[in-house]
Amino acid sequence: MDLRRKLFLQKNPYDLQKTGDLFLEAVKNDVVFHAENCPEYAQILKSLGFSIDEIDSEDMLYKIPVIPTLYYKRNYLCSLSEKKLAVKATSSGTKGAQSKVGFDKKTLFYGICMMIRYFSYHKLLSLLPTNYIVLGYEPSTHTQMGAIKTAYGTTKFAPALHREYALKDTGTGYELNIEGIKKALLRYAKSGLPVRFVGFPSYMFFLLKTLKENHISLKLNSHSIVLLGGGWKQFSDEEIDRDFVFELIYDTLGIEKRNCHEFFSAVEHPLPYVKCKNGHFHVPIYSRVIIRDIKTLEPVPVGSLGLLSFVSPLVSSMPLTSVVTDDLAVLYDGYDCGCGINTPYFELKGRAGVSQIKTCTTDALDLAQGGS
């Protein structure tokens, strides 16, 4: 039997003790499967002298060659043929390269089971008919951005009556739909049904500011929820003050802070992480988090800053078993969190790179245009 079935259908998404051995075996199977079905991946393992026998305990998971998200942005790795893919998605990089990923039916099935378990644990599933404000892109035929699919996916956790998008599909591109959102919100408020806001924090902040400037103050249904995921940077590159946003949400929409949730996910690691009531991303049974040294990529001790990397056996269509993101983070022991979940949790500490690199050398994109 596929060990993933047992793992991703577990009831309690945080029972690490019970599922430790299962997780380890599922990961090992996953690595072996990819090595057998993706020649480039097998070559990478070989070039780094990796042997699956090294992975005899959870502590050794870091030895599985880790692949940076940048690699997926520039190279397409697959372990199943294109026709076996049920969905394709790309990362939301604004400039330059984007990751292209594809998922097969089985991966998708386990993923959906996991999401249902996970979101019901976090009490984010609801049977009440709900109106949605999606603070992101409307799904379209001309783009496959992962963020769109995530946002759209999360509108299925309560039956959707209507969805209004901040960025509306014009057929060939997108346009900002602030007026439409404002009108929809007023209509939603009048109907008295719960409203859910899903998407990027920067868009939520922009919407809240617009409502405030227009002196709009609503009292939405008490089952209304805000789900925010993505960077907390404004368009001007300044960090948004979270508490200020939650205050604004309460002032303009009447949604309390306990009903505002933050989630984390990545196209190259399509698993959900929702913050607990104390604001922590706990590690669920579906993955392990390894924080890696910024120079050597070796694991660093708990409490130290490094690059956020994940191990998970979810995906069979692509070797996404061990990936390192460009997020910097710190991992903490979970016992002292106090929220009731005692698995380790990570805290995001910004992105690798420089936000505004001071340079006047031509960038690759300009050169590519010049050279084409």
Binding residues for other proteins, rule: CB under 8 A, are 40, 43-44, 47, 67-68, 70-71, 74-75, 235-237, 294-297, 305-307, 324, 326, 328, 350-354, 356-367, 369-372
As a whole number of angstroms, the distance between CA 203 and CA 226 comes to 12
Instruction: Work out how close the CB of 364 gets to other proteins at its nearest, in angstroms, rounded to a whole number.
Output: 6
CB 212 within 8 A of CB 252: yes
Taking the least distance from each CB to other proteins, the nearer of 214 and 304 is: 304
Taking the least distance from each CB to other proteins, the nearer of 22 and 44 is: 44
Taking the least distance from each CB to other proteins, the nearer of 128 and 364 is: 364
Instruction: Work out how close the CB of 358 gets to other proteins at its nearest, in angstroms, rounded to a whole number.
Output: 5
Taking the least distance from each CB to other proteins, the nearer of 2 and 238 is: 238
Instruction: Work out how close the CB of 125 gets to other proteins at its nearest, in angstroms, rounded to a whole number.
Output: 36
Only one residue has tokens 């990529």, namely 297
Q: What is the DSSP string of 246-289?
A: HHHHHHHH---GGGEEEEEEETTEEEEEEB-TTS-EE--TT-EE
Taking the least distance from each CB to other proteins, the nearer of 67 and 145 is: 67
Instruction: Work out how close the CB of 196 gets to other proteins at its nearest, in angstroms, rounded to a whole number.
Output: 29
Taking the least distance from each CB to other proteins, the nearer of 240 and 305 is: 305
Helix axis angle for 178-191 and 201-213, nearest 10°, is 80
Instruction: Work out how close the CB of 39 gets to other proteins at its nearest, in angstroms, rounded to a whole number.
Output: 9
Instruction: Work out how close the CB of 174 gets to other proteins at its nearest, in angstroms, rounded to a whole number.
Output: 17
Taking the least distance from each CB to other proteins, the nearer of 44 and 113 is: 44
Instruction: Work out how close the CB of 66 gets to other proteins at its nearest, in angstroms, rounded to a whole number.
Output: 8
Task: To the nearest 10°, report the CA torsion of 240, 236, 274, 135.
Answer: 110
Instruction: Work out how close the CB of 282 gets to other proteins at its nearest, in angstroms, rounded to a whole number.
Output: 24
Taking the least distance from each CB to other proteins, the nearer of 307 and 341 is: 307
Instruction: Work out how close the CB of 46 gets to other proteins at its nearest, in angstroms, rounded to a whole number.
Output: 8
| Three-class DSSP category at 126 | coil
- Tally the C-alpha atoms within 13 A of residue 364's C-alpha that lie toward its C-beta: 3
User: How many CB atoms neighbour CB 96 within 10 A?
Assistant: 11
Helix axis angle for 16-37 and 39-47, nearest 10°, is 110
Taking the least distance from each CB to other proteins, the nearer of 70 and 113 is: 70
In the structure encoding, which two tokens stand for residue 248, read together?
């604004």
Only one residue has tokens 């990027």, namely 200
CB 104 within 8 A of CB 80: yes
Q: Which of 303, 317, 309 is nearest to 269 (CA)?
A: 309
Taking the least distance from each CB to other proteins, the nearer of 16 and 308 is: 308
CB 24 within 8 A of CB 58: yes
Instruction: Work out how close the CB of 371 gets to other proteins at its nearest, in angstroms, rounded to a whole number.
Output: 5
Handedness of CA 275, 280, 281, 284 (dihedral sign): negative
| Three-class DSSP category at 11 | coil
User: How many CB atoms neighbour CB 279 within 10 A?
Assistant: 12
Only one residue has tokens 């690798």, namely 352
Start-to-end CA distance of the chain, whole Å, equals: 51
